[in-house]
Each structure stands twice: as structure tokens, then as C-alpha cells.
Structure 1
Amino acid sequence: MISHLFQTGGCELSFGTRALEEVEHTVGPLSDQRTEGVRDVGVSLLSECVILGNSELLALRSEGDVIIGGLFPVHYLVPNSQNTYNSKPQNLPCNGFDDRAFRWMMTMIFAVEEINRNPALLPGVTLGYHIMDSCDHIHTSLKALLSLLTHSTKGQNTLDSGRCLTGSPITAVVGLASSSPTGAIAHILGPFSIPLVSYFATCACLTDKHTYPSFLRTVPSDLFQVRGLVELVKFFGWNWVGTVGTPDDYSRYGIQAFSHQFRQLGGCLAYHLTIPQSPTFVEIGAMADTLQSSKAKVVVAFATEGQLLELFSEFHLLLQGTLGFSFPGVYIPGLREFLLKVRPKAEPGFEFHNMLWEEVFDCRLETFLFSAQENTTDSPERPVCTGSEDLSNVHNSYTELSKVRISYNVYKAVYAIAHALHDLLECGSVGATTAEAGCKKNASKPIELLGYLKMVNFTNQFGEKVHFDDNGEPVPLYDIINWQKDSKGKIRFVKVGSYDGSVPMDQQLQLNQSKIVWTGGLSQVPVSLCSDPCPPGSRQARRPGEPQCCFDCLPCAEGEISNQTDSTECTKCQEYYWSDKRKVECVAGVDDFLSVYDTMGIILITLTLLGVVMTTVITTVFHHFRATPIVRANNSEISFLLLVSLKLCFLCSLAFIGKPSTWTCRLRQAAFGVSFVLCLSCLLVKTIVVLLAFRSTGPGSGAMKLFGPAQQRTLILCTTAPQVCLCAGWLSAAPPFPFRNPTYQASTGMIVVECRELWPAGFYLVLGYIGLLASLCLLLAYLGRKLPDTFNEAKLITFSMIIFCAVWLSFIPAHVSSPGKFTVAVEIFAILASSFGLLLCIFVPKCFIILAQPEKNIKKRMIKSPR
């Protein structure tokens, strides 16, 4: 399915009878009463063959004091003439009669006659016309223009009978429909300052007053049409469209301007097709295949309806739903009746009438005035026209006139010229007649009329203010119409909105979407995108070598969001905020720490309390049996101090659990460092006592006297003091502080609250000093492991130190690699493991003997010969 957004013929979406019928119905009474003093023109037309070289051109002409030229594309197909320059070129007739363009021509005649009947406008002066067929081609338009400029009436260009304008040449020209022929004509008329007022040439290139100084128009420039088209495409979200044009100025400039503005808004062109002047069946088929195979479901067309006719025939089923810009239509009273009076006649002046008759009724007239102008497509099989056929029963673009658009532009062009001429003729002295004033001002000069035409400003009978800006442009106002099928299956135009280029940007486009019917009778807006929109939470990723509208959608990275459709970049959340699961919103990060309510926290607290309870129980047992040899051995005072230090080791782990605060960050490392150093100092003293006791000659030896209780306390104090000083200096100069770290668990949106070390070396110095004492204890205990005593503690200390060293050597890599709160858990585990190792290895065996084997807890078993 393809939804079209065609712009044809400079905004009006209407076509010849071989394409689609347009809706322009006009009803109303025809007033043909003449104003007294104005020469009767009527509907009978004078026609003559204007000789240009050896070629004859048909024209409609009516005499008047002021002659207005007219150029209309009554035919839209020009035969290819191949001149050999060996003989005089032949005047080949144009083909493809356009009854709509003929209606424009007749509207000019209607406007001229209506002005002539108006006593308030140009009193005493009648307008005449000289109208020719331009065939919608540059060459034929130029030929017709030269006929207009070189032709004059039989009268003399002198003041005669009070009519100073009798016999004057063309004063102004109304035309043309296409931009390229109009540009060519404007080039010629410009140096002579002959006004050219176009009713349908919309190319923005014609705005250049240096190139086209005498050009004006009653149709808005494509500049506004393009802006409206871009706004319309943007409104419906179409960013992937195709364009169709023709090799002329209107199409070329229109598509160029549309493409430029469309790309500025982020749109892309899927393709551009150019319809040749005379396309072949193969070329039309190839273009149709491109339209159908493309992912672009919207086509923007800048071309005349005649050039689009064959292409449209391939898609006639899909034209329903087309949107287009059209000029506001009006009902012109009397126009319909005037048009219905047309009748065929086999006499001069009715050649175009005869062509219309044959076209509308699909018949052939037996008599032609000029055989050279006969319809070359005529066939004997066609029935003969009787001439009594009734146009009122025909429904086509010629007779359906409820609201005319281009015809209204022609109507305004004629009235603008008439008002300018009226202002020019009234510029004389007070009391002078119009004719006298005009003669004094040499009103026959077109340059005089051009100056007044640029300044014309009047309100017509339809309430519209007609004037031109500095570039000769009217007010840019459009209707937006939708092609819809009626109950009979015929295409009708329904107004669904408007575009006013003279108001602020946000008010220019007005649409009633509920009235739009799309292709296939659907009410849903069609989608025309190269890539489906990227939903919120993702971003566009351009495909290499493809337009910007073709992309892939990639999800936003962790910590980034996109809360709009088709975001080109993801936005990083601010610090301590994180993206939600859909990556569309930044949410505050959740503080994550080793809580007392976490499973891991509960387990570690339980183990800590177990260690405290066990230490308390062992302390109670030792205190109760303090007089026994096993307790008194190795200085019971040091044993109790060791139990106290172990209890502190267990308790310090509690400072690591819970949300870090200023005091817990400072306390935890100091308590850990001092407690373990105190514990190791006690073990070091016990180890030294064991070594001295069994390597001396006896219990009362000198070595033991030199290392008595006082010396033991001093050693404990001396080995603990450096750690105390280190911790005090560390906490005073660069204490750890609580820090919310969003980097560890970014994927879950957790903000890890941890204690950050300002001076990490302080922690490693504390840990290093503990390692130094542990290594020294291990070495001394290893040396005394084989001492001959049943209650030799060296073995127990050795084994406990092996566990201690193994735990803390494993702690370092685990501590570095563990993320977030697991770093704290690893440190607590190391504290508990090493504390349990010391408690179980040193005190549990002694408690077992005290409680389970009291017979071994005697002095006799304590002393053993060195041998």
C-alpha cells in the first residue's frame, strides 16, 4: 500500500478529463445586462488566424480600448518536430485537449465582459482580449507571445473619437500555467515593462525581480508551498519519502527546495524519479516498480497533471488518501451559466469550442474551418456530434464549478489589471474626464500600467484583499485537500485543513485529522520510515553508507537513559543516580553496605558473637582453674591478656557491619590493628618464654630470671606501642571517611557506601606490622616445636600462626578483587578466621585437658627430664 502526498501543477490537485475529475462546482445567475455607453461584446467571439511566418495560430480576440493578452495551455501535448532546414517548418497542431485550461480561458473572457458591464470600474473604457493557446510548452508559448506582440488592430494608434487607446498593442498579459514557459515569456516581456500576471506559475525562481522585473502572479510562490509541504510531512512523522518530478523549472526548483528543507528537519529522500517529456511504457513501468518496491510509503510530486497522467494510471486504485495543497476555492456567480452557453459552430471564432465539444462528448464534428487544426486523433469510428448535446448534463472539470481555484486566480488577475488601469486613468486633474486624463498620462504605455499594478490594492466581491508585495507575490493561503471516493466510486476533494504562510509559524498549519481518509479507506495515518522508531531507552546507531534516517536501535548503556523516541544519544545520569530497568528514567541509587539485616551480615554477626561467647567461656574456665598447673604454665597473666585481646579481635569485626559513619570508619581499622598486635605480642612473649624455659638448665635458671613477668609486660607494651602510634598518626593526619561509590555495582543501581582511605599506605603499614609480628611468632614457635614437654605451647602456636598467616596472605588478593560490600565481608572473615584459629589452636586443647582429662593437669606431668 502506498499513501501519496502529491503536489501537482503548482498546488491544485486537479487533472484533465483523462485523469481524475476535479470538484469545482459553480451555480448562479448570469447577468448579461450591459451598462449604457459600453460597447456590447456578448459571448460571440471574433477569431482570426494570426500569421507568423508560414504558420497559422488560432486565437480568441475581442476589440476594445485596452487589449489584454492571454496565454493558456488548452493543449498539453506538443508533437516533436524535426526541422531539416531544407524546407519551411510545418506548424504541427498540439494534442491532448485540456477542458480545464479551456475553462480558465473562458473565465478570462467572462471577467473581461463583467468588467465592461461594471459602470464603476473603467467607465467609458472597454477592455478587449487577445488569447492564444500556449500548449504548455516553451516553444509554442514563445510563438504565441510573438503573435500577441506583433499583432495590432486595423485602427490607428492615435487619438480618435475620444478613445486615445484605440489600436494600442497588448498592454498586459495574463499567463501562463507552467513555470518554465512563464519564465521564458517573462524574460521577453521584462525589458519592455509589459506586465505578465500569472495565474498558475508557482516556481520560486520567478520571484527574482532582476531577471523578471515585470512579472506578478495571483498564485503563491512554491516557497510557501514547499514550507507547507515540509510542515505537513513533519506533522505526520514521515521522514522517508520519495519524490517525483519532471524536467522543468517548476519541478526542479520545487523538489530542490523541498529536499533542502526536508533534510534540515532530519528527513531523507528514498529516491527521486524524473518523468520524461514523452515517457515510454517501459519507463513508466520501471518507475512504478520503484514506487512499489520502496519502503517509502509517501510520494511527494511536483509536476503538472498531464505529465503525471500515465504514471497515475498505474496507481489509480491507490490515489484515494492523497493529500495536496490547493488554493482556496470560491463560487463565481454567473460563471457556470456563461460556460454552458458554449456551442460548436463551423465558422471562425469557434475552433476551441469545437475541440471542447469533441472532447467532452467523445464525438466528431464533420465540418472544420481549418483542416490544419483538426484533431489528429479523430477516428471515423467515433459518432458524429449533433451539436445539440447538453453540457449541463456533463460532470467533468469544465462544468463542475462549486468552488473554482485556478479560474479564480485568472479572475483576480484580470481584475487586478483593470483596477491598476482604473487608477492610472484617474490620475489626471480634477474635473477632467477619464479618457482625457488617460491621454494626458500616455496610458497606452505598459510601463505606466506596471507601476500601478504593483501598487494595486482592492477588496473584491468575495471579501479577499488583492494586492502584491514587493516581489509581486500575493498572500500565501492554501487549502489542504484529501482525495476521497464518493458513493459512486469517483474521486472527490475534501478540505481537511489549511495553511496560511502570513501568520506565525506555530499557527500556519491547521489540520482536522478526523476528516482524512487514507489509502484503502483507512483512518490510521500511514507510516513512512526507513527504520522503525527507536523506543525510549535506546538510541539510534547510523548504518554506514546509508542516509541518517536509516539506523539500528541500540539499548542505552548502564547509567544512561533516553526518555524520547528516536533519541540520537543517551543521556548519562548524574552522580548517585542510575537508570531504571527500561533505561528511560534516572532514579536515585540505593545505598548498599553490609547491613545487619543482610544474610551475610547476620552470619558474620553470629560468628562474631560465637567467638565472643567461646572466649568468655574459656576465660571463665581458666579463671576457675587458675591454680592448676596447665593454667599457671607460661604465665597465666599473659594467657588472660591473650584471651582479652582475642575477645577484642572478635568484637572489632562488629565495627565493619552496618552503614559506615565517620566514627566507625576511624574505629574499625584502629581497633583491628591494635587488637591483633596485642594478641600477637602476647603470643610472641609466650613463645619466647617457652623457648627460654626449655633451653635453660631449669626452672630457676638465670634466663628465666632475666625474662620475668615485668620484662614480659614491657615487651608486650613495646611491641604494641608502635601500632598504637601508627594508628593514632594515621587517623589524625588522613582518617578514612564514609564515601558513596557508584561504580562497583552500577548494573544494579546500587551506591556502595564504604570507608575510603585518604592514605591507603596507612592501612597497609598497619597490616604489614601485624604480618611482621606474626612472622616472628611463627619463626620462634617453629624453632620450639620439638621441645620435650607434654604441654609445650610451641606446637600449638606454630599451627595457629600457620593458619593466621595463610588467612591474611589470602586476604590481600581477595580484598583487592572483591567488589563493594564484599570487600568488608572479606576483611571480617579474615579477622574471624584468624581469631578462631588462635582460640581453637591454643586454648581449646588446654580446656579439654582441664575439663575432660584432669588427671593430666598436675605438676608432675608438666615437668619432664631434658633427656
Structure 2
Amino acid sequence: MALFYVTLLTLWFLLCIGVQSQYQNKDRCIYQGDDNTYTFYQGGDVVLGGLFPLHFSPVSSVSSFRTKPKPTKYKFFTPRTLRWMQTMIFAVREINQRQDLLPNLSLGYHIRDSGDDIPVSVKRSLLLVNGQPERDSGQSCEDTQKQPSPVIVGEASSGISMAVLRSLSSFKIPLVSYFASCSCLSNKREFPAFMRTMPSDLFQIKALVKLVHYFQWTWVGLIGVDTDYARFAIQLFLKESERFNICPAYVNLYPVALTQDAAEELVNILKSSSATVIISFSVDSYLHGILKECRRQNVTHLQWIASEAWVTSKALWEDFGDLLKGTLGFAIRRADIPHFGSYLRRVSVSVAQTSHFLSEFWEETFRCRLNGSLKTHVHGEAAQNWPPCNGSESLDDVYTPYSDVSQLRVSYNVYKAVYLIAHALHDMSTCVPGKGPFQNGTCGSLYQILPWQLLHYMKQTHFTTLGEEVRFDDSGDPVASYDLMNWQRGSDGFLQLVRVGFYDASLEEDKDLIIDEPVIMWHRGEKEPESLCSQSCLPGSRKARQKGKPVCCFDCIPCAEGEISNETDSNDCLTCSKETWPNQAQDQCIPKTLEFLSFQDAMGISLTVIAIVGAFLTVTVLGIFLYNKGTPIVRVNNSELSVFILLSLTLCFLCALVFIGEPTSWSCMLRHTAFSITFSLCISCILGKTLVVLAAFTATRPGNNIMKWLGPIQQRIIIFCCTLVQVVICTVWLVASPPFPYRNTKYQQSKIILDCSVGSDLAFWCVLGYISLLACVCFFLAFLARKLPGNFNEAKYITFSMLIFCAVWLAFVPAYVSSPGKFTTAVEIFAILASSFGLLLCLFAPKCYIILLKPEKNTKEHLMGKVTK
């Protein structure tokens, strides 16, 4: 319990001492910063703050906190950033000289070096917004030497801007960046007080993806320094590239403090990858170590694509021009600021001595010592041996990025940022009380500026400067417009940044990127580089993804039969319609070949000739019979039936011609009905002849009067009735389901087979069945009469003819069913011709032989077998 009271009394004692100290120092403002108080400062009614990364790569040191920590030292000084600082000063002075903009208000500036380091940037941003007393002056906090800034122009880095914003956003103090492009900064919920004159990375990424897609690079490497800028940019690129089937060969984020091991690891990846196009999201200072290692390992084949952070950095060209020749990248919009070049060149020895920043620049440029300013940066032992500056040095005699005004891009963004604030202040100064944007129509006060009120005016501001209309969207981002730059070696060996195209986000989707391709100079001369995981699949093939690999890695598979692809790198093949078929290259569908038995092809010609020959022979036989109609052999064979048979056989030969040629509705109906009726007529006549022959020899028996039932009239009735049955079947067939032209695409997919569909299979087989029935009856009756007496046994010839006829049509059935395409029709024609020739030869060849060659046998006695040998 005693220990508790002792502890309580001790705490009370310490509290009293703290309160007493607080009251003793209530009128003093003690500066808690380091000794580095170097700034560009000029007072005014409103002092604009500025943060610029003049130095980078701080020298690491560990403080013991037993003594006061020493000021941070840096390895590198950036003349380019000094130009940015001078741009802000130039813009402020230019505005102060104008009478149309802020005529009754003077602007000042308070510019500090952020050191490209988050702790340093946050600390110095707080110094800007709080003001700063003279060190150890003992002034009151209300009476500071440097005025507080209600707005800051800065920072260059996206990551540092985010850190500064997280410190200042609670107070709604605006931060206007001139180079921070991370799309994450457009999040107004997280960064409500942020604006910028630099386009968001979202648009740069869209431009880069379209650039890569334009040159058909589908396999690219992505690298960047491990910062918020690179992480968000690569994330956006990966998302946007999916729309165009662009794949990352690798993604590598190297540390800010690049070690030799990290550099070697990254370059080994670059060297082993098949990707020849590499996109780098970095700033020139962080890329230096990577390029140095690339040179050491002789990695010189890469086509570099630069982000806007380093695309106009001529400093890299001086050391790595051989590696970076042909580099492409999008640069922010440039402008020529009048009189700015001459303003920069006003720096002389006397001017440089008035500012630590300018002194350091002078020493860096001319490698001489001036006022001993080499205290806050590291140059090594060689710097201590630099000679004193003699005063004759001139910026006109040397090249330095500081005075190079040929590519004023970031500088132009700084210029626009200052003018943005000035126009916002001007709108605030011209506000009419009662019509203001705030509660009860009040206006913002210029005498005690509230940052959140200034931010409101800034968001509503749009103006025109150097011919450009500057507007901002709801996220505080300007309209994106980029120049496509190409790194080319000039005749003098120096870098030439050549504009070879542009990207304008305000244009239509398919017109926002314009590239003047002939002007581009590539890394390897005139040949455009290729960067593919797999070679493109030509038309006629499709892509098949390789298992376990990105979509850009694939094999090319020829399209299947009946399919085409008419585009390069097609994912799928298209099936041709039923009426078309792929050409040999399988890149387009062409009309299918029409196949039918025509009068032009060899088979059609052959069958036509055979049919005509058969018809001619039949007509010849008919002529012979008519000429010799009075001879016994003609008379004994019933000349009338013989004439009917020969006429029907002629029609049978000629009906074969109807089967040849392109099928039409009429030809399809005619060919089947003509064939069936003519053959029915022919077999009916032969059947009548058979009955007559059988009856004639049977009538010789006593008491047999059968011949009176088979006279000429009865024969005609038999022929008519037998033929009429077939006519009825054909009529029903044509009415119910007639034959029709048919385009067969199933049997042979590359051709369209023109054929006649029978319409009704039942009717077709009924027709053939009826003809077969007549032939079988005829064959049976002739077979019964085969042994009748006589030297000329007609029944035998009828038997042989029917035997041949039936054999032909029995063989026809399987051949017809199994024959493809036009051969089906050919088989049917062959059966017609073969059976017709069989009938003609068997029935009439022996008779013609006797009539023409053996006239001595053409007697009644010889025919009756009564001739004595």
C-alpha cells in the first residue's frame, strides 16, 4: 500500500513539472526539425507550398539517439527536379505580374526538397502547412518567419503522395500533384483532398495495352520498382490486357534499395524468357541499376516500353543509349512555356550563391566547389578535390537537363498546378457575398483561407493556359492525352525523342490511338520485334491451349473436316453450311461440287452411246422384220407381237437417257414411270407371245380348241391389261408421293449429289415387284414349253431371255442399295440396258441370223422339222 502512495505522489510531481514547463514556454515556438532548413521561399498574401524530390537515394545511417541525429544525406541530385522547382517559381512570378488574374493579391511560395522519402516528405509537408519560425529565435507560434501554406503543389511519387495525404487529409489541406499517376489516388473516399494535373494511370495503362495489341505482342514482361505506383500500374495492366488476350511472361517488382543479388535475379529472368518486349513501371533513377546489370550480362535484345515516369529521361540515354534505342512509351502532354528557357539560364555564379539548391546544382554541373555547399550530399573523395569555381562557368556551354526546355512535360504540369490554384483563388476573390457556394451564400475568405473552402473552388475550376483547356473530372483528374514517343539516335549521337503517335482518351474507343508506324525506329533496325509465346495460328487452324500455361501459349490444330477458320489465331473453327464446303486451305467455305450423272462425264457418255446403240439395233431388227414380214420365220413368230416387243424394247433403251442429266421434278417423275411402263409393256408382250407359243403347240392335240381363246384380240387384251396394272400403280405413285429431285449431302460431305428420291419406297418396290412378277410368270410358262418339238423352239429363247432378265434385276437390288452418288443412277441404267440387250439378243438374234445369213432355213418345213437330211 505504501508503494502505491509513493508511485501516485511521483506521478503527481511529474505532472506538476510538465504543467509548469508548459506555462513557462507558452509564448515560445520551438522548431523540432533538423538542421536542413534549405528552401526556396518568398512571402506573399497566399504562400503556396511545394514538395519536389530534388535528392534521392538517402545514405542509410543508424542513430543511437544519445546525440542529436545528423541531417539526412543523399547520393544523387536531380537537375531535372530543380527545373520543376523553378517552374513553380516562374509561374508564381508570372501570375503576380498579371493584371487580369489576382490583381489585388500577391502569391508567394515555400518550396522544399522531399528527398523522395516518405518520412522526410511527411515531415516537410507538415512544415509547409504549419509555417516555420527561424531556428532558436524564440518567436511565438503566432508570429512565424515563414507563412503556413493552405495548399501544396506535390508530390512526384504516388506512394509519397499517399503518405502525405494521409497526414493532411484530416485537415482537408489540398495536395495538387504534378506527377503522381497512380489510379488509386482517384479514390475520393480515401483521398478527398487530392487533385492532380497528371493523368491517371488508368488511361496510361489503356494506352499501353492498346499499343501492345496494335503490334500483336501477346507475350510481354512486366517489371517495376516495388512502390504503390508500379504495383497498381501492373495490376491495372494485367486486368486490362485480358480483353486483348495479352499475357505476362513474368511480373517482377524489384526493391527500391536495389541490391546486386536482386538485380542479377531480375536480369536472369529477362535473359531466360522468350518475351522480347518488356514494360517497365519505374523512374529513371531506379532503372539505372537494372540497365547496368543488363549490360554486364549482355542482355541487349529487349524492346523496352517505357512508362510516362521515365519515357522522356535523357539521363538514361547518356549511359545506356545502346540498350534503349528504339524505346517506345507514352509521355504526358508537352508545351512551350514562353520565356522560361531564358529564365532558367539566368543562373550564374552570383545567383547560385544565394541558394543552397542552386549552389549544389552549380557544383554538380561544373564539378567545382562553391561556398562549401557539399555538406548534405555524397560525392565521394573525388568531390573534395574539385577546384573552386572561378566564375567563368556558363550554362550556355554545357548540356544539363535543368536548362533543357525541349520536352517540358512534367514542368508543364507544375505550371498548370500553380495556375489551377491561382484561378481558384481568383474565383474566390470575385465571389459575391450572398451568392457564394457555402452556407447562407457565403464566400470563402482570402484573409484567413480555409483549405477546405479553397479545395471546393479548385474542384470547380476550369481555365485555359497556353492554348489548352484544362478541366477536371469528379475525381480531380484531368482529361488524359499522351504523345507516343520513340527513342532515336540523332546524327550527332544524342537522343532524339520523336513523336510517332498519340493517345486521346476523349476520342472514340477505336480512334483514340493513332500510330505513325513508318516513323518508328526499332531497337534492331527496321524489323519490328515479335514477342509471342506461340506463333500465330494461320487461317485454317485453331488454337488449343497448352495445359498449365497462359492463354497466349497454345498449339495450332487444323480444323476438322467440314470446318474453317478465316481469321488468324481463331479460338474455334466454324462449320460450313450444308450447301458449302471448305476449300483446300480451310479458310473459307465454297459452294459444294454438284455431282450427278451428266452427258458430259465419261460414264454418262458411255451409257448414252450404249442406249442409243441398243435403240438403233432394235429399230434395225424391227426394219428387218418388217422387210421380211412375209417369210415363214417372221410369220411363225407372230409378227404383230414381235413388232410390239421391238417397239417396247426401243422405248426401254431410250428411257435410259431420261436417267442422265441434272434431275428435275419432271425428269424424276418421267424416268421411273417411263421405265416401269415400258418394261411392263415389253414383258407383257413377251408373256402374250409365250402364251401363244404354248397354246400353238398344245392345240395340235385332238379336241383342244385353246387357240380360239388366244386370237389377236385376246392377245391385245392380255397385253393391255398387264400394262394397265403397272399404269395404275404408277398413277397412284405420282399422286400420293411422286419422285422428286434430292440434294444428298450426307453420303459425301464435300459434294452435293443430285439424285431423284423415289418419294415412296413402297411404290418403287411395287413397280419393280410387278415387273418381276410378270417376268417370273413368263419364265415359268416358257420353261414348261422348252421341250416342244421343232427346229426353232421359241420357248427356249424366251426362257433364256427371262433367265437373263431376272438375273440382271436380282443383281440390281444389292448393287442399287450399296452404290454411292451418281453410281446409283448408273446401276439402274445398266440394269435397264443389260436386261434390254438380253431380251433383244435372246429373242431376235437367232431369227436375224436365219433371215440374214441362213435364208435356206427360212422355210416352213425347216421350222417344223420336216426337212430330210
Q: Which amino acid aligns with 2:122?
A: L
1:479, 1:157 → 2: CA distance? 48
Say if 2:459 is the partner of 1:454: yes
What residue is the counterpart of 1:44 in the other structure?
A: none
Q: CA deviation at 1:512?
A: 2.9
Q: CA deviation at 1:670?
A: 0.9
CA contact (8 A) 2:851 2:858 kept: yes
Q: Which amino acid aligns with 1:226?
A: I
Say if 2:50 is the partner of 1:70: yes
Alignment of 1:621-636 (within 5 A): 621-633=624-636, 635-636=638-639
CA contact (8 A) 1:580 1:586 kept: yes
CA contact (8 A) 1:676 1:770 kept: yes
Q: 1:180-218: per-residue Cα shift (whole Å, max 9, x none)?
A: 111111122111011111010011111111211111111
What residue is the counterpart of 2:407 in the other structure?
A: 403
Specify the SS of the correspondent of 1:451: helix
What residue is the counterpart of 2:641 in the other structure?
A: 638
1:327, 1:725 → 2: CA distance? 92
Q: Which amino acid aligns with 2:809?
A: W
1:395, 1:124 → 2: CA distance? 40
Say if 2:117 is the partner of 1:137: yes
CA contact (8 A) 1:687 1:780 kept: yes
Structure 1 pair 554/394, CA: closer, same or farther in 2 (3 Å)? Answer: same
Alignment of 1:401-800 (within 5 A): 401-427=405-431, 442-460=447-465, 462-522=466-526, 525-536=528-539, 539-553=542-556, 563-571=566-574, 576=579, 592-633=595-636, 635-688=638-691, 698=701, 701-702=704-705, 711-741=714-744, 746-747=749-750, 751-782=752-783, 784-785=785-786, 789-800=790-801
Q: 1:808-845: per-residue Cα shift (whole Å, max 9, x none)?
A: 23323333343433332221111111111111122112
Q: Which amino acid aligns with 2:75?
A: N
Task: Extract unaligned runs of 5+ from structure 2.
Answer: 1-29, 295-299, 301-319, 435-441
What residue is the counterpart of 1:187 in the other structure?
A: 166
CA contact (8 A) 2:31 2:133 kept: no
* Match for residue 81 of structure 2 among 88, 98, 101: 101
What residue is the counterpart of 1:169 in the other structure?
A: 148
What residue is the counterpart of 1:267 in the other structure?
A: 246
Q: Which amino acid aligns with 2:74?
A: C
Q: CA deviation at 1:326?
A: 1.3
Structure 1 pair 729/465, CA: closer, same or farther in 2 (3 Å)? Answer: closer
1:305, 1:151 → 2: CA distance? 33
Name which of structure 1's ranges 835-844 and 238-247 shifts more when overlaid on structure 2. 238-247
2:443, 2:558 → 1: CA distance? 78
What residue is the counterpart of 2:206 in the other structure?
A: 227
2:354, 2:32 → 1: CA distance? 18
CA contact (8 A) 2:428 2:444 kept: no
Structure 1 pair 459/608, CA: closer, same or farther in 2 (3 Å)? Answer: closer
- RMSD over aligned Cα atoms: 3.7
What residue is the counterpart of 2:11 in the other structure?
A: none
Q: CA deviation at 1:686?
A: 4.0
2:552, 2:702 → 1: CA distance? 96
CA contact (8 A) 2:487 2:497 kept: yes
2:662, 2:249 → 1: CA distance? 59
Say if 2:242 is the partner of 1:242: no
What residue is the counterpart of 2:27 in the other structure?
A: none
Structure 1 pair 195/805, CA: closer, same or farther in 2 (3 Å)? Answer: same
Say if 2:389 is the partner of 1:386: yes
Name which of structure 1's ranges 771-780 and 562-571 shifts more when overlaid on structure 2. 562-571
Structure 1 pair 358/786, CA: closer, same or farther in 2 (3 Å)? Answer: farther
What residue is the counterpart of 1:324 in the other structure?
A: 329
Name which of structure 1's ranges 384-393 and 654-663 shifts more when overlaid on structure 2. 384-393
Please give the TM-score of this superposition, normalised by the length of structure 2. 0.82
Q: 1:563-589: per-residue Cα shift (whole Å, max 9, x none)?
A: 554444555555645555555555556
What residue is the counterpart of 2:25 in the other structure?
A: none
Q: CA deviation at 1:754?
A: 3.1
Q: CA deviation at 1:107?
A: 2.5
Across the two proteins, how many residue pairs are aligned to each other?
Answer: 798
2:225, 2:577 → 1: CA distance? 54
Structure 1 pair 757/439, CA: closer, same or farther in 2 (3 Å)? Answer: closer
CA contact (8 A) 2:129 2:151 kept: no
2:632, 2:470 → 1: CA distance? 126
Structure 1 pair 458/735, CA: closer, same or farther in 2 (3 Å)? Answer: closer
Kindly, what percent of the aligned residue pairs are identical? 46
CA contact (8 A) 1:346 1:367 kept: no
What residue is the counterpart of 1:825 in the other structure?
A: 826
1:81, 1:686 → 2: CA distance? 130
Q: CA deviation at 1:640?
A: 2.7
Q: 1:575-627: per-residue Cα shift (whole Å, max 9, x none)?
A: 64555555555555665433333333222221111111111222222333344
Q: CA deviation at 1:755?
A: 2.5
Task: Extract unaligned runs of 5+ from structure 1.
Answer: 1-49, 431-436
What residue is the counterpart of 1:852 in the other structure?
A: 853
Q: Which amino acid aligns with 1:774?
A: A
Specify the SS of the correspondent of 1:301: strand
* Match for residue 258 of structure 1 among 225, 228, 237: 237
Q: 1:371-400: per-residue Cα shift (whole Å, max 9, x none)?
A: 5x2416444696445364433322132222
What residue is the counterpart of 1:24 in the other structure?
A: none
Q: 1:9-40: per-residue Cα shift (whole Å, max 9, x none)?
A: xxxxxxxxxxxxxxxxxxxxxxxxxxxxxxxx
Q: Which amino acid aligns with 1:848?
A: Y
Q: Which amino acid aligns with 2:600?
A: Y
Structure 1 pair 376/655, CA: closer, same or farther in 2 (3 Å)? Answer: same
Q: CA deviation at 1:502?
A: 2.8
Specify the SS of the correspondent of 1:170: coil
Say if 2:816 is the partner of 1:812: no
Structure 1 pair 199/355, CA: closer, same or farther in 2 (3 Å)? Answer: same
Structure 1 pair 115/623, CA: closer, same or farther in 2 (3 Å)? Answer: closer
What residue is the counterpart of 1:375 in the other structure?
A: 378
Name which of structure 1's ranges 513-522 and 340-349 shifts more when overlaid on structure 2. 340-349
CA contact (8 A) 1:692 1:704 kept: yes
1:778, 1:293 → 2: CA distance? 89
What residue is the counterpart of 1:23 in the other structure?
A: none
CA contact (8 A) 1:240 1:549 kept: yes
1:457, 1:301 → 2: CA distance? 33
2:230, 2:57 → 1: CA distance? 18
Structure 1 pair 501/322, CA: closer, same or farther in 2 (3 Å)? Answer: same
Using CA pairs below 8 Å that are at least 6 residues apart, which structure has the higher relative contact order? 1
What residue is the counterpart of 2:317 in the other structure?
A: none
1:723, 1:428 → 2: CA distance? 111
Q: 1:142-188: per-residue Cα shift (whole Å, max 9, x none)?
A: 23334434542357676x9xxxx986422211111111111111122
Q: CA deviation at 1:777?
A: 3.6
2:455, 2:151 → 1: CA distance? 8
Q: Which amino acid aligns with 2:327?
A: T
1:136, 1:454 → 2: CA distance? 27
CA contact (8 A) 1:364 1:378 kept: no
CA contact (8 A) 1:168 1:444 kept: no
